[in-house]
Structure 1
Amino acid sequence: MPTEALAALVSAYFVLACNGPLWDAVRAGSGSLRVLLSLGVAVFALHALLFGLFCWGRLARPLLALLLVVTALAHWYMTRYAVVFDAEMVRNVLNTDPAESRELVSVRMVLHVLLLGVLPAALVLLTRPVRRTWRRALLLRAGFLLAMALLVGAALGASSQGVFALMRSDLVLRYKITPGNYIVSLVNVLKPSKKAKGPVQAVGADARRPPEALARKPRLLVLVVGETVRGDHWGLNGYARQTTPELAARDVVNFPDVTACGTSTEVSLPCMFSPFGRADYDRDAIRGHESVLDVAARAGVGVLWRDNQSGCKGVCIRQASETLGPSDGASLCAEGRCFDEILLSGLQAKIDAIPGDALIVLHMLGNHGPNYFERYPPKFARWTPVCETAELSRCQKADIVNAYDNAILYTDAVLGRLIDLLAGQGGHDAAMLYVSDHGESLGEYGLFLHGAPYAIAPKQQLHVPMALWLSPGFAAGDGIDLACLREAAKRPASHDNLFPTVLGAFDVRTSAYRGERDLLAACRKR
């Protein structure tokens, strides 16, 4: 079979078998058969054109076979979880750790990939290319590419007004064109940054603490980064279920209206620890500059990152860090995952090892999906029945919510234990700040999990909980008026407040500090 014919067949297969989410969106957005047919022909010709440009010689068939298998995988996650394969989602995929990947594998997924991807890939590999002279091969390939380009133009020209109106009204429609969506996004992720590469740029190079800060009793701030907890399921925010009884009993200051910097850990974690935040979001700048951990360390604060998740995404790379596992508490771990209580294992010894001011970050596994039912010990299964499969679309929504809420209940219990530990500190005035990195979709609008493009992300993925606990000594030493703080907490906040709040808590003086974003600044009475 000529390679051109094979490329056309594979393109037609993609259009007919692997673009269900695209055609569903076209029918819902337009309802016009003419638009549907025009876009179908255009998608076919565009992929055939792409394959014709890059599939040459002996690599053509292996490359097409690989695309068939990967596209089957992409199709599975698009149809089961409504995943949108933009550049950020591709980054999430590339940075997924083995434990996360294992949870997404199921028998149905394997069968899906075998039938939709591996079988047609095997058929492609069984074909043999037609032998030609190089002149004839170039001539025929040029003719094929020209024909596909003309077909694209003719197809779009036949109903251009309807097609482009649909594209403008549905901003993610182009990310549903498979496999073009993940191919283009992967190219965007892998292409070199336009910004000059070089050493990480310093932030707050002038950071220092005044003599009075060095003379007072040392302070300890434990910053807990939650995972995938959405604000409208947080008991302290007025949720119908009391998912936070331990925090409610410990007199914390709750922030009910907090917006995340991103919809994935890969975006939110670097962003929330940077001086740029969402207000001045620039991925390259964030990755190319120091984090608030570096600024605090430069000012003499002891810094430690403890991780029970997929790493700190570069935030803690220049500071002391540790990833906890079975050796830190075998009874809390199974199959590569540990319950979040492990973050408290040996924590007192770590605190005692830092004689002065200390900033400790605890990175939780939290509500990481889709296996919410595995995020808590059995005794926290308060709401039942629960969804016990990674294929959330097969479960009743109520069962998904039950498992999700049980996981929050467990997070609340861990935070309660942490506060009790901090309340007993003799060598430090202690405080705890908890905030989730992003929210989660539980079936609303047909979406599951997270990672939607920020511009169109639903509120469920952006509204996150945040709570602050201050020991009496910390509040008094920093001059915090708690009544003022409770009132101020009712105002909107975001991840952008984290950077200055951390610096303010340790009296760090630097030009990088922005007092208007410090959550505590307005209520300091000293």
Structure 2
Amino acid sequence: MLRGNLKIAHFALLMSFINFLFFHYPFFKFVFHNIDYKSFNGIIIIISLVIAMIVANFFAFYLFLFIARYFGKFLLVLFFTISAIAVYFINTYSVIIDESMIGNILNTNYDESSSFFSFKLIIYVFFLGILPSLYIIKTEIVNVPAKTFLKTISLTLLFLLILVFVNAGNWLWIDKNSKTLGGLAMPWSYSVNTSLFYIHKHKKNEKEILLPNATIKDNKKSVVILVIGESARSQNFSLYGYKKNTNPYLSKTENLYHFNATSSATYTTAGVKAILDYKKTDDLYEILPNYLYRNDVEVVWRTTNWGEPPVHIKNYQKRDVLMPNCKGEGCNYDEILLTGLKEQILASAKNKILIILHTSTSHGPTYSKKYPKQFETFKPLCNSVELGNCSQTELINAYDNTIVYTDYILHTIIEDLKQLKDYNSTMLFVSDHGESLGEKNLYMHGLPLSIAPKEQYEIPFIVWVSNDSIKLKPNQTLSQQNVFHSVLKFLNIQSPIYDENLNIFK
């Protein structure tokens, strides 16, 4: 039986041991899969990591509880609750809670986060979070003199230093896997990486760095529609050789080109930023829509998604702005982005127009809810947010239907552009990142790019042009950085930062 009152050291050690038991199965699953656990050195690494995990958490918990008992209890309750949620997502979707994933979480809107809600999540939170939290709150902690505290904390720190020294030969393996290990260690994966996220965010430029002024070189009417895809991976497009016909419209479209491409990241915020930046950078430079808007181009941004850098233009239109003029079932899906689009282009008083449509069609885990019923081409479907509960066939069918719907949306955009006879027009479709659908037991996206599978970064780059006179270079593999310079070229905008090597048009 667990007693109602404990000495502070005993309580901290108990909490560390429970934390180890509850939340570190994914951590040691990774360790066992990446070392020879039958070898002597492998056994030493595993034993050392177990001891280090328990002792290091004891050190931190003991420190928090001694400094401020009630604050320490509050932190433990917070840790157990958040760790329960974190381990649910790690076990269910095979994510790693690193800094980029923290950024992804903090930028998630309500609609997206609510789609992850499940009964299994409630079970995790109740048994791994709420029950231990009730015990933490109820237990009376017996404090110790400062002398005893200093002695215990010093011996603990000395033990940890000795453990590090003894494992000096294993540091190469630990360093090699540090990002993954750090992303699976609770509660430090989210607490340390949340701190790093805000530190790095603060260091970034609070005000975007303006690019040098650009010049529009002619008065020819030209329009670019840039469609930013969400979680679309190229291998599920029949344009790229996929056996199932997920592109019934685009496969029959003239003047359509598709290129192999890779994303700069595996999560939305970084992927969208890379599409809009003039070069690969972590700095906050003026992004494409802001730059062209400042240089007298008509710019419209329409979105059913989130995660873009700050957009400083007049016509920024979310779902609520478009809904009053939208009719039909498609208004509940990404078709809403096409509402009055052709009319808005024709109403412009400017000759150079950039339209950016930021879609959300292929974002999981609720793939089957991302398209109207008539696009339910492939069955049976996965309808669960717990993707591991579905067969891979069901999961891929639901995802493939989102690609069929994307195909229809892009086809509709092209048909609208064909009617603009006075304009040179092009449509570019580029995804922010790819998606894992159960391959290697991974789901969705967000793994660090250095260890991410190709499903999470191989993306479609599809281009349509309005007439045969507009030629494209015979590119082999493109990146998201090609977008900025290709848009400048198509609109015939001269700029000191223009890079011909990144332009796809002849």
Under a length normalisation based on structure 1, what TM-score does the superposition of the two structures give? 0.89
Which residues of 2 match residues 204-353 of structure 1 at below 5 A?
205-210=212-217, 213-214=218-219, 216=220, 218-277=221-280, 281=281, 283=282, 285=283, 287=284, 289-314=285-310, 316-325=311-320, 326-329=323-326, 331-332=328-329, 338-353=332-347
Aligned amino acid, residue 290 of structure 1 = E
Instruction: Identify the match of residue 444 of structure 2 among 445, 449, 452.
Output: 449
- Indicate yes or no: 2:210 matched with 1:202: yes
- Indicate yes or no: 2:77 matched with 1:69: no
Deviation at 1:508, TM superposition (A): 0.9
Aligned amino acid, residue 474 of structure 2 = A
- In 1, the alpha carbon distance for the partners of 2:360 and 2:30 equals 34
| 8 Å contact from structure 2 (residues 8, 143) kept in 1 | no
Deviates most, 9-18 or 99-108: 9-18
Partner of 2:154: 146
Under a length normalisation based on structure 2, what TM-score does the superposition of the two structures give? 0.92
Deviates most, 420-429 or 40-49: 420-429
- In 1, the alpha carbon distance for the partners of 2:204 and 2:339 equals 42
Instruction: Pick closer, same or farther for the CA change 1:13–1:309 going to 2, 3 Å.
Output: same
| 8 Å contact from structure 1 (residues 208, 298) kept in 2 | no
- In 2, the alpha carbon distance for the partners of 1:106 and 1:329 equals 32
Instruction: Pick closer, same or farther for the CA change 1:63–1:328 going to 2, 3 Å.
Output: farther
Corresponding residue SS for 1:223: strand
Corresponding residue SS for 1:488: coil
Identical-residue share of aligned pairs (%): 27
Which residues of 2 match residues 424-439 of structure 1 at below 5 A?
424-439=419-434
Instruction: Identify the match of residue 51 of structure 1 among 58, 61, 85.
Output: 61
- Indicate yes or no: 2:416 matched with 1:421: yes
- Indicate yes or no: 2:43 matched with 1:33: yes
Instruction: Identify the match of residue 497 of structure 2 among 502, 512, 515.
Output: 512
In structure 1, the gaps of 5 or more residues are none
Q: What per-residue deviation string (whole Å, max 9, x for no partner) do you get for residues 65-112 of structure 1? A: 010000000010111111111100001011110011111010111111
Corresponding residue SS for 1:456: coil
- In 2, the alpha carbon distance for the partners of 1:51 and 1:252 equals 64
Instruction: Pick closer, same or farther for the CA change 1:440–1:328 going to 2, 3 Å.
Output: farther
- In 1, the alpha carbon distance for the partners of 2:237 and 2:178 equals 31
- In 2, the alpha carbon distance for the partners of 1:237 and 1:381 equals 21
Q: What per-residue deviation string (whole Å, max 9, x for no partner) do you get for residues 382-419 of structure 1? A: 11101110100111111100001011001101111111
- Indicate yes or no: 2:496 matched with 1:493: no
Instruction: Pick closer, same or farther for the CA change 1:7–1:276 going to 2, 3 Å.
Output: farther
Aligned amino acid, residue 149 of structure 1 = L
Deviates most, 141-150 or 39-48: 141-150
- In 1, the alpha carbon distance for the partners of 2:330 and 2:423 equals 31
- In 2, the alpha carbon distance for the partners of 1:352 and 1:312 equals 26
Q: What per-residue deviation string (whole Å, max 9, x for no partner) do you get for residues 465-523 of structure 1? A: 01111112xx64xxx33xxx2x614x111101011011111111111111111011xx2
Partner of 2:112: 100
Aligned amino acid, residue 366 of structure 2 = N
CA RMSD of aligned residues (A): 2.1
Deviation at 1:255, TM superposition (A): 2.7
Instruction: Pick closer, same or farther for the CA change 1:256–1:49 going to 2, 3 Å.
Output: same
Corresponding residue SS for 2:100: helix
Deviation at 1:195, TM superposition (A): 4.4
Corresponding residue SS for 2:357: strand
Q: What per-residue deviation string (whole Å, max 9, x for no partner) do you get for residues 316-360 of structure 1? A: 2345311014545474479xxx31111111212321231221101
| 8 Å contact from structure 1 (residues 35, 163) kept in 2 | no
Partner of 1:178: 186
Aligned amino acid, residue 354 of structure 1 = S
| 8 Å contact from structure 2 (residues 64, 71) kept in 1 | no
Corresponding residue SS for 2:246: coil
Deviation at 1:310, TM superposition (A): 2.0
Instruction: Pick closer, same or farther for the CA change 1:192–1:436 going to 2, 3 Å.
Output: closer
Deviates most, 229-238 or 162-171: 162-171
- Indicate yes or no: 2:45 matched with 1:17: no
Deviation at 1:194, TM superposition (A): 7.5
Instruction: Pick closer, same or farther for the CA change 1:7–1:313 going to 2, 3 Å.
Output: farther
Deviation at 1:266, TM superposition (A): 1.2
Aligned amino acid, residue 8 of structure 1 = L
Partner of 1:188: 196
Instruction: Pick closer, same or farther for the CA change 1:229–1:435 going to 2, 3 Å.
Output: same
| 8 Å contact from structure 1 (residues 46, 152) kept in 2 | yes
- In 2, the alpha carbon distance for the partners of 1:468 and 1:397 equals 31
